Structure 1
Amino acid sequence: MGRDKATLVFEGRTLVQRVVDAVGARCDPVFVVAAPGQSLPELPAEILRDEVRGVGPLLATARGLRAAADAGRDWAFVCAVDMPHLHARVIDELMAVALSTAAEVVLPWDGRDHYLTGVYRTALAERADQLVAAGERSMRALADACDTQRIVMEPRHELTNVNTPGDLA
């Protein structure tokens, strides 16, 4: 996109503020994994810094899962910052399935997997680290390496992510 998505302003707030508000309605604590030196607005969340840029979302997810596990949580909602319409009801729907199954990951599926809008067992932090050490960068590698439950959903506004400035229009 050519610029930091987290600080893009949409309807008066940055994308990261919007996502933290949506996630914070259901999750406590909330962690934001930021790139080294990335400037963020004041947030009601704990900021975790990646040590290295450009290694993909899997390393950041491992870090967030570990932080959630250290906070005593068995599950973590993992999402991207580029979801301006995210709503807590998505978390509720995924958690309802997570709590009724033995799956390690629960993802929405609306014709494609939404790896960065899912609930993950925090115990997966070590497996994610092992995948990163083996050269993997994608969330697909983690979902493929564990028991993943996909929830079929109609395409929904809440699952929309921003890939271009035009997507915010």
Structure 2
Amino acid sequence: MAQDMSDTVPLAGVVLAGGESRRMGRDKATLPYPGGTVTLVEHVLGVVGQRCNPVFVMAAPGQPLPPLEVRVIRDEVRGLGPLPALGRGLRAAAQAGAEFAFVSAVDMPSLTVELIDDLAQRAAVTNADVVLPWDGRSHYLAAVYRTELADRVEALVAAGQRRMSALVDASDAQQIVMSDSRPLANVNSMTDLSAVRALV
């Protein structure tokens, strides 16, 4: 039953690729995906695109990216954090007719379609504003958001908020406990990247 409900809900995708990547020391989006011939952003888009349509990439001003077959939306100002980019991505998804969008960080090499679909099913069943995984911490950038939250994000940003948690705290959010947190792993160092390489 939940699977059928999930299939009726248009699910857009929003990939946030414009972070400063201070711990990595370089842009994560153009890191080579281990064991392949594509970049990390291309790999993540390949996964997200299997479940989401349309898909948007949120990038920093002037950030170099490989040629992508999706719409790239540039931040107006660099370094304001993910919340303003999330808002603009949700607005683009709403304008495209999607009620919900899966929002992902670009540094998730083990992301799976199954995770996205599970969250989409929960969103369809619960009708929550936000459905996000929890494995000891909340994963704001691996979650399904109702696209109408774009207005709420804009108001929060105008009030000086920059934290993703501010939006979740102000919304009807459902946290899903994940028994397998591997698809949620982020790449924050070259050591993390090497660990992914060993699994490919």
TM bucket by the smaller chain? over 0.9
Residue number in structure 2 paired with 1:4: 27
Q: Is the 8 A contact 1:6 1:16 kept in 2?
A: yes
- Unaligned runs of 5+ residues in structure 2 are 1-23, 195-200
Q: Alignment RMSD, CA only?
A: 0.8
Offset, 1:62: 0.2
Residues 1:84 and 2:109 aligned together: yes
Residues 1:60 and 2:85 aligned together: yes
Offset, 1:43: 1.5
Q: Please, what TM-score do these two structures have when normalized by structure 1?
A: 0.97
Deviations 1:56-78 (A, max 9, x none): 00000000000000000000000
Question: Whose radius of gyration is greater, 1 or 2?
Answer: 2
SS in 2 for 1:55: coil
Residues 1:160 and 2:160 aligned together: no
1:10-21 alignment runs, 5 A limit: 10-11=33-34, 12=36, 13-21=38-46
Offset, 1:154: 1.9
The percentage of aligned residue pairs carrying the same residue is 61
Offset, 1:138: 1.4
In structure 1, what is the Cα distance between the partners aligned to 2:133 and 2:54? 22
- Unaligned runs of 5+ residues in structure 1 are none
Give the count of matched residue pairs: 169
Structure 1 stretches (4+) deviating beyond 4 angstroms? none
Offset, 1:44: 2.1
Residue number in structure 1 paired with 2:160: 135
- Matched residue type, 1:150: Q
Residue number in structure 2 paired with 1:100: 125
- Matched residue type, 2:53: D
